[in-house]
Structure formats: structure tokens, C-alpha cells
Structure 1
């Protein structure tokens, strides 16, 4: 189970309502376009905190899907977060950065006042699987200088053989060095079979849980594969479980 985003549950009482956001298929362009599953934005919810885009893709056989081939295109006023579970992507941008992202690594690009970039899966990639997340820059930083950061977070042991990799913010005693302009939490959680993890989180955040594989429960609410679960602020603990 992989969970990019911010996650939490009230420790002493069940959440009255968790909003489940259903993905929709979106092609990335071209006659052999790779399809992504987009859960954010939605008609009734355009933002979760500063997160403004959640695209989830794979696992795809690139001989059938064509892989990722996103030609140079511009961005302004946001940050892009690339996180992979399998495969390899080559990144180039108008800042002069040439970088790769591989499983367990984060590429964060700050568009600021404007940047152009391309992302292409490498010839060695046979299976592509990951997420791309966008972060909206606050108004006072929309015209900030363009920038790029790459980081490989360490695995952090959790209860029952589960683990976390914190790529933005702080969770389970680990803090990512990657800078953001809004307080954020981004982490991949891998749950052991039948495990439950409980984590302290910031109660001022909105929170979201994206399920990569299988089904998990956020408190008592089941969250199906590729769906995004939303919970409002004023919550201070996570309880996430992999049902038997």
C-alpha cells in the first residue's frame, strides 16, 4: 500500500465521514498515450491542502502502453513531485537540470515564475508504476525562482513489520530535507499483511490516503485500490490497517 499525501484519524472516536474520491482515466497525450488515474482535482474538490493534482499510473507493461513520453511543456506557480514504485524516468528542464528518478526517490521541481520540462521513461524500463503530484505555490511565492531537488529517503520501521519513506515533511521521527513553500507531508507507507499502523500527524492539516495496491481501511472505512480517501483537519492520529 502506497500513500502519497497527508493522513490521519482521530484517536478516540471514528471519523464521521471519510470522502472517497474515485479515479478517472486521463491520457497523457498522443496516439499511444499512457493512461493515468486522476483523483485530484475533482469537480467538488480542487485542493487538499496545497496538493492540487494526484496522478497514479501502472503497473504498466511499456511495450503495450508506450511508457511515458511527455514532450517539453511549461509550468508556472506550482511544484511537481515525481515518485516511482517501478521503472525509471528521465527528466530535463529549462533550468539545465538533467536527472533521473527511480523507485524510492523523489524529484521535486519548482516552476515558480516559469519552467519548461520533459519526462520520458528510459529504454531500460519494462514496467512503469508510480505517481505524480502537484503542489500549488502560495500567492506570495508564485513568482519564486525555478528550482529542482532530488532525494532518496531512508526506510523508517513501523509497527508489525510495516515501513514508511518520508519524501516531504515529517512523519514517524523522520524529516525530509526537500523544501516546500507550504507545510506538507508526503510519504509512502508499505503495510505488512494484516498489519495496523498508528502514527502521530499534524491536526492542522487536511489529509488524504491514496491506495496503490490492495485495499486498506482508514479507521473503519475501506479504501479501494487507486481511490483517494479524504479527511478534514482537527485529527491527530492515523490508524491504517490491511484487512485479513
Structure 2
């Protein structure tokens, strides 16, 4: 998915604005901001990463949560061809269907419970359109920052359908990394964890996790406690490295659904603006110029019935690297 804001915000890190630290000191509660995705009938997404309180969780650097969205009312998703550099996009749906086309030549569909992962690397472009079969659109769109050694990797596209892992009171779909005895075959450039976890009403689940990972739990529905801290729908709970277990408790009288993200702390500073990730202001300027000049760097998307997205104007300032604040 594109960040289609006409004036992409530059997030300045180092404070804890936008986050609430729990009394236990183990989990930070990150609240989302609403972002309209273009047009008078824009579909609104809830963005929890990046924000001032936290830029990354592992290499996860962008998290949009949207829906349930009535496509008949909003028009659904129609994102024209747009570029990416230095990242991987991770598409995961709860309901609906999205048609994906990219400059690698991929033509695929994003469906509930199926992972689509696209590697931008040096440069790629793609479009995303909800299909006529979609009545309700609901899911998450995530980005992963590529480490410096691989940020110019070639274009790639991977598809995976995880088999649900069922435990007492829970159902888990592991789309990246390893959890609950299941391992995704999808290739990534840093160790990552990504999984949808559904919890029955009142159920508790304790998971073995890598203590070197930091974790983020995004709640889609229900009231869920992560390590004792209550998270409400659309909130993202952050748990730092150090623990080899995570305990989730559904305090709702209805099923809860969450997305668990994780990875070792990403120590590199990144520059992120619009749909580009680099290491300097000049990286962003160069990528924008090449997109506007229709450079071969991004290729062409075939089959989309319309024009591609123009790049917004650069800010009148040097774009500074983003990093996570120190925990106090």
C-alpha cells in the first residue's frame, strides 16, 4: 500500500508523545492516528507505526490497520501505481479481496489468511485495488525496513497460505518467522515474526518467544491484556526484549483478534518519506526524481486502468533519520 498523504509528515522521534507507558513498565500502549487514503470518499486507516513514541519494532517500520470498511459507502481501495524503495510490503486481510499488480509482472490477489510479501529493494512499483467481489474490506498493511546490506535487493514477490495452528482457546496463523511450532517459508532479510492470533472469549494463551526479540501486539477486536497491560481495539502494545514468553488474555465476551509482530531491535537509522526508505536525505531526493522521470528503476505496472501516482513535493527541510527513543 502507498502512503498517499499529499504532505507526508516527518516524524521526529525522541519523546513519548502518542504513547502511554503501563504501570508495570513492561508494555507501552501506542495509540493510532487516522489517515485518509485520498479522495472525497477516502477510506481511513489507523496508523500505529511510525509515531513519535516508536519508529520501529524489530524491522517493522509501518503499520496501517483498516476496516471493517463498507466498500459500497467508501468506494474501497483504489491505489494507483506507486513506487517503493528499501523495504518489503506485507499485506494481510481479515475480509475482502485486493488485486495486486507490480512491475515485476506479478498479478495476484490478497485474500483473508493469505500472505503477499513484495520486496521493493532498489525499486519497484505496484497498484492495489479492492475487487468487485468485496463487500467489506478489513485488514492490515505493514512495511519492513531492509538492512543496509540488502536495501538494493532485486524486486521479488512471495505468496504463502499458513495452516492454522489450533491450541486450547486460540487459533494462530504464522505468516512470517516461527511461533507455536510452525515456521513460515517466506524469506526475509532480518529475523522477523508475524502472526494472526484469534482468542476465544475469556481465554488465555502463553507463547514461547525469542527473548532477543521486541514485540508488538496490534488488537483488531476485543479487549486483550498483553503481559498484564490492557489493549483495546486499534491499539498496539510494545514489549521490549528480555522475556522468553508472552501471555495474552482475552477479557472480552466475544472472540478477539490480534496481529503479533516481532524481531530483534533494528539498530540502523533510516530515512523514511512517502514510499521511500533510505539512509540520507539525498537517497530520498534521488528516488523521487527517478520516479517523476519514469526511470527504469521502478519499472511499469501493466493492466491498471489509470495514471500512476505523482510524488508529493519534498519538505522545505532536510529529512532526518528516524530512530527509537531510549526506554527510561
Q: TM-score, normalised by structure 2?
A: 0.69
Partner of 1:115: 124
Gaps of 5+ in 2: 1-22, 253-328
Q: Which has the higher contact order (CA 8 A, sep 6+)?
A: 1
Partner of 1:5: none
Partner of 1:221: 229
Distance 1:102 1:132 in 2: 13
Q: Does 1:198 align with 2:206?
A: yes
- Give the number of the structure whose residues are more often strand, by fraction: 1
Distance 1:43 1:73 in 2: 26
Partner of 1:136: 145
**Alignment partner of 2:67: what SS?**
strand
Distance 2:251 2:125 in 1: 43
Instruction: Provide the alpha-carbon RMSD of the alignment.
Output: 1.1
**Alignment partner of 2:149: what SS?**
helix
Identify the match of residue 90 of structure 1 among 99, 102, 108.
99
Larger radius of gyration: 2
Q: Does 1:53 align with 2:62?
A: yes
1:169-225, CA deviations, whole angstroms, 9 ceiling, x for partnerless residues?
000000001110000000000001110001100010111000000110112211010
Distance 1:29 1:130 in 2: 18
Q: Does 1:155 align with 2:174?
A: no
Partner of 1:9: none
2:180–2:208: 8 Å Cα contact kept in structure 1?
yes
Identify the match of residue 246 of structure 2 among 234, 238, 242.
238
2:30–2:53: 8 Å Cα contact kept in structure 1?
no
Shift of 1:118: 0.4
Runs of 4+ off more than 2 Å: 14-17
Shift of 1:52: 0.3
Distance 1:207 1:17 in 2: 11
**Alignment partner of 1:49: what SS?**
coil
Gaps of 5+ in 1: 1-13
Q: TM-score, normalised by structure 1?
A: 0.92
Partner of 2:29: 20
Shift of 1:15: 5.1
